[in-house]
Copies of this chain bind each other. A is one copy, B any other.
Amino acid sequence: MGVYASIDLGGTKIAGALAAEDGQVLAQRIIATESHAGPPAVLARIARLIEDLAAEVGVRPLALGMGVPGLADLEQGVVKFLPNLPTQWREVPAGAHLAQALGCPVRLLNDVRMATLGELVYGYGGRGSGPMQGAMVFYALGTGIGGGLAIDGRLYLGPFGASAEVGHMTVVPDGPACSCGSRGCLEIYAAGPAITGQGVRLLLAGQTTCLYDLVEGRPERVNPAVMARAAALGDERVRAVLVQAAEYLGISVANAILMVHPRLVVLGGSVAEIGPLLFDTVRAAVAWRVGMFSAADVAIVPSQLGNRAGLLGGIALAAGVGI
């Protein structure tokens, strides 16, 4: 079985792995991005990381799949634009550069689409005996909200890999302005910072009960997961914040279901760590908002792979599975 390499490039960290085509990870490592050094230096760090992993395992990878936090042209192997990295990351031919450095083919993809590929091939989507039939929608609910769409066992990318931007679908027509230029996007209501911000607001206003104790009164410890623990312990105001965010997410999931009627909706990222309260609320919203057909057959499930979805998606990308 062939060995492939994967890179998940982030604004502050680079995660790298070598794995077999079946998803068995042979070696992995995380290093700092040091993005201030500019694209050539970062690409050199990536190449060295792969070389180090290959030396550790004693096998050279057949190909590399790399996810980037922004737009990438899969066909050309070019990084188009990374909103959270320095502006030099525009039209960077990272694929060709790394292919030359490593002596193997390199494929680039948006990081959330790459995580979708991981879920499709190695997560719930890969549970069947053959390629998954029907559609799968993935939500990456973190600092922002990204998404991915797969149809009949293959990632569906659209003209330049930008489909399934679920975080920027309008849920409130006249809602607050979003960084994307629109208003009332899902991300405003259900991304991690929105939920955490509401939790901090309640904390500072002295309106929480259990949450205060759980974070020992320290706002910087507030996050969706600890808010969910507080809600479970009876903190009603915190619970209301989580339910409201989940209801907006439920609108988005219902709309996605009405559009592509997937068999599977996978929710991942820090917001999904809210757990049953989030999933139950989303499922309830879907049950009453999807009235044109029964959505009872749509499984709405947490990510099985968690943080590993991206790196494993890179292995599938490198191996050309599901894409």
Contacts and interface: CB of A to CB of B under 8 A. Distances in A.
A55 interface: no
A166 B247 CA distance: 20
A128 interface: no
Interface in A256-300: 256, 258-263, 288-293, 297
Contact of A259 (B173, B247, B256, B289): B256
5 contacts: A158-B262, A168-B258, A169-B254, A169-B258, A182-B288
A258 B147 CA distance: 10
A256 to B, nearest CB: 6
A225 interface: no
A58 interface: no
Contacts of A226: none
* Interface bracket on A: 35 or more
B259 A159 contact: no
Nearest to A173: B251
Given A158-B134, A170-B254, A171-B173, A163 B260 contact: yes
Interface of A: 71, 134-135, 149, 151, 156, 158-160, 162-166, 168-173, 178, 180-183, 247-248, 251, 254-256, 258-263, 288-293, 297
B291 A178 contact: yes
Contact of A291 (B182, B247, B248, B262): B182
A158 B290 CA distance: 14
Contact of A261 (B162, B254, B261, B292): B162
